[in-house]
Amino acid sequence: MATPAPENDPREDGVAVGPGETWAAGVPGIAHALQIAQQQMGAKRSALTLLKLNQRDGFDCPGCAWPESADRSHFEFCENGAKAVAEEATLRRVTPEFFAAHPVAELAERSDYWLGQQGRLTEPMYKAPDDEHYRPVGWDEAFRITADALRACTPDEAVFYTSGRTSNEAAFLYQLLVRRYGTNNLPDCSNMCHESSGSALTETLGIGKGSVSLDDLAKADLIIVAGQNPGTNHPRMLTSLEKAKRGGASIVAVNPLPEAGLIRFKNPQTVRGVVGPGTALADDFLQIRVNGDLALFRALGRLLLEAEDEAPGTVLDRAFIEQHAHGFAEYEAEVRKTPWEDVLEATGLPKERIEALAARVRGSERIIVCWAMGLTQHRNSVPTIREVVNFLLLRGNVGRPGAGVCPVRGHSNVQGDRTMGIYEKPAAAFLNALAAEFGFEPPREHGYDTVEAIRAMRDGKVAVFVGMGGNFVTATPDTSVTEAAMRRCGLTVQVSTKLNRSHAVTGAAALILPCLGRTERDVRGGREQFVTVEDSMSMVHASRGRLAPASPVLKSEVAIVAGIAAALFGPDGGGIDWAAMADDYDLIRDHVARVVPGFADFNARVRRADKQAVGFQLPHGPRDSRTFPTATGKANFTVNPLDVLRVPPGHLLLQTVRSHDQYNTTIYGLDDRYRGVKGGRRVVFVNPADLAELGVADGASVDLVSRWEDGVERRAPGFRVVSYPTARGCAAAYFPETNVLVPLDSTAQVSNTPTSKSVVVRLSQEHFHRV
């Protein structure tokens, strides 16, 4: 049987710290996944649900966006995927009686963990202005309240946020509603994660997506994994890396923290992984200083140029550069004058370690660079990723088998949502196609991204906030500013499966609209519907829920969007038949096929692909034919400034990270098995040599205080210091607890992504000394 939800928030004064793991997955991974599944779903439901996860006739994992292999096992899930499914398919329920017993003010004092553990939302709930509690509300009334608020303001006074869990069909319908209403205020979770990747790749290669497939990983000679922790954040990637390693590939990990998943992988589906030593993955680990990646790839470029000088025609791919690239001369001139002292200070690496990697590069014909948030959430993230592209272009490692760029997306359909038009800066071609298909003129002025939306709410420029999934308040930076901004709205509407902090930090009025999860049957128009998603490698495939809904009252995201549209636009729907699309998702896909490039014959192709393989692949010019839809018509070398991020004395450079019992803002538990932490989350990892310099003891209690140019003191109180082998001068702590330290206006150039991986902090013991 499933266990009941916790009644009280857990105390964190008993956190225990022991040795971290030197390998990932294995039997402990299986055991922990099954333990969580048992707690949430019970034994029988766990078996029925997990056996349908990532299967052709089942549902796509609501966790990460790593692709499925054509050669699938019966157990095509990882530990954290099983946790994600258990959280959604839980038997725990949040009923109207729960809201009657818990005022909103009390919920706002609860932890994210406690809120999430209460279970699935079951009915629409409404909090009127000045109400202390949510009360049940019918769907028609909820849609009317939303529509009335939207009609009472101008379109640009409304913000429509999207989480990466949203399906292609719901995302397309949602952006259609928003643009028919009259705004491009469509911030999404990508603004906070891989926006930097999209910005850099669009400029340099012409498309803001990765250029590799699973087959490419298996064919690579060298895979560099930079700023990524796949053992926790994308565990199924470890199977792909293991396959590549057994095929002869070398793997180099570049990260400020040693991560168990890149040291050794014990594949729980192999005898070697269960009873044997598993597979050693990383051939080398470069423990780089936080924000040192641009300098590293710049140095690799310089070493490759110098090696070409010594042996002309043997290092660079001159034919590729001359035929397919632009800007090489300017890049070369900049790289040759790069000071080694800046490189070594920025990276924290000895020169000989960088030279050893360059030698490995020269001996590798096919190279892939993978990365995640460790590269995308800095002030210079876009220049950093442009420098990664420079490095790959030198040897023609784009547009051929076994080579390319591999930004590893986090949420399961964050890439698909952007493809479907969830973007505050839509391309003119997309808007033109939308206008031709639906017969209205969509707005052309760019809307708010996530940071701009918070600023607008803070400044009283937003009357209505609608969240399509996710947990906006907890996911965003500068927590106190964001919460105050949200409370200035007139109405906040959250489309959600489970309780979270964004239901407790609200506008004057608030709606909770509970929706079906990925695991649940979606019956509309008298038949079961399916949805589609796009993974990190541009594969599109179907997802079919198999469980009975958590409540008979729940609606799908598609039906909720259509219901709001019907109430907003009246009987004629603004010229669009929303009800028809809500009852037949094939109609939505037919529209997508005529609006979005690459989706021709969408319905037939997704059904064929669903039977034969793992979906169909969207076109990608650089990958498919070495055609680059950039401003120059070629792949662009770029010149990027090498700015060394120097930290004042007595301070550290903090990166925010996930624990192993966490997925984005969802907290599964209070342990981080791989890092040796048990029973708490308010810990900060610091190198022992830095602790000695600072005069702070391992196990001490400190506040984390961030420093930024606005002079505002941002404080995260009550952290336990953990002596840990981080890079010197660097520290790490979990988000969302440390989001309060990230200034709203500290963002990446070009992409405007919050700089959550480059936070200058000091460890303050003032409060504890006074006590």
Distance CA(512)–CA(508), nearest Å, equals 14
Beta bridge partners of 703: 764
Find all residues with CB under 8 Å of 571, minimum gap 6, and list them.
Answer: none
The 3-state DSSP composition of the chain as helix, strand, coil percent (nearest 5) reads 40, 20, 45
Tell me: the pLDDT tens digits for 177-193? 999 999 999 999 999 99
What's the confidence (pLDDT) of residue 75? 60
Identify the pLDDT of residue 267: 83
Look at residues 148, 71, 102, 122 and name the one whose alpha carbon lies nearest to residue 9: 102
Alpha-carbon gap, residue 712 to 12, rounded angstroms: 28
pLDDT at 59: 61
Tracing tokens 């932490």 back to the chain, one arrives at 677
Q: Which residues of the chain have pLDDT under 50?
A: 771
- The single residue listed with the structure tokens 């960088």 is 354
Q: Which residue, chain included where needed, has tokens 């406690």?
A: 114
Report the phi/psi class of residue 656: left, alpha or beta, with left for phi > 0 and alpha for psi in -120 to 50.
beta
Task: Check: CB of residue 40 under 8 Å from CB of residue 86.
Answer: yes
How many angstroms separate the CA atoms of 68 and 78, rounded? 12
Please give the pLDDT value at position 771: 43
What is the tens place of the pLDDT at every residue in 210-263? 999 999 999 999 999 999 999 888 888 999 999 999 999 999 999 999 999 999
- Residue 420 near residue 329 (C-beta atoms within 8 A): no
- Helix axis angle, 479-486 to 450-458, nearest 10°: 60
Q: Could you tell me which residues are beta bridge partners of residue 509? A: 491
Q: Is 594 buried (19+), middle (13-18) or exposed (0-12) by CB count in 10 A?
A: middle
At 287, phi and psi to the nearest 5? -85, 85
Residue type (1 letter), 375? L
Looking at residue 46, what is its pLDDT? 67
Please check whether residue 506 is in contact with residue 498, taking contact to mean a CB–CB distance below 8 angstroms.
Answer: no
Angle at which helix 43-50 crosses helix 26-41, to 10 degrees, equals 120
Taking the C-alpha atoms of residue 258 and residue 24, their distance in angstroms, rounded to an integer, is 12
Give the per-residue pLDDT at 125.
98
pTM for this model (two decimals) = 0.96
